[in-house]
Amino acid sequence: MINVTDKAAGEIKRVFQAQGAPEGTGIRVAVQGGGCSGLSYKIDIETAERTGDKVFESNGVKIFIDMKSFIYLNGTTLDFSDGLSGRGFVFTNPNAKGACGCGQSFNV
């Protein structure tokens, strides 16, 4: 499961509203190769489940995740930061053994 904080849920819902997203829209969270630590996080707007997806809901946000990414992201918390060090989504991943300084890539 992936947990979405109140702050992240608010930002996701704001983006959905700004883009006129239809009812049932969620986010697709995935892992892809790349970044300075080997794997990087990816978030996209998603409107439909794909074959083999795990689908969760956290804090009113539907989350779609493929099985390969689920192995790396299970237990992760998605937050949103708008502090002095930048604005964006922040992943707290208990499966990561290391991460780059910006927090956008990790290794296991």
- Nearest 10 degrees: CA dihedral of 29, 23, 89, 72? -20
Beta strands in 1-108, from DSSP E residues, in sequence order = 3-4, 26-33, 39-46, 54-58, 61-65, 77-83, 86-92, 98-99, 105-107
Q: Return the biggest CA–CA distance within the chain.
A: 40
Domain spans of the chain? 3-107
- Domain covering 3-107: architecture: Sandwich (2.60)
* pTM exceeds 0.75 for this model: yes
Per-residue pLDDT of the chain (108 residues; tens, 9 = 90+): 899 999 999 999 999 999 999 988 999 999 987 655 578 889 999 999 999 999 999 999 999 999 999 999 999 999 998 876 678 898 898 887 655 554 454 545
Q: Which residues lie below 8 Å from residue 19, measured CB to CB, with a gap of 6+? A: 45
Q: Say which residue the tokens 């992936």 belong to.
A: 2
* 50-56 own/partner pairs: CB under 8 Å, 24+ apart: 55/26, 56/1, 56/2
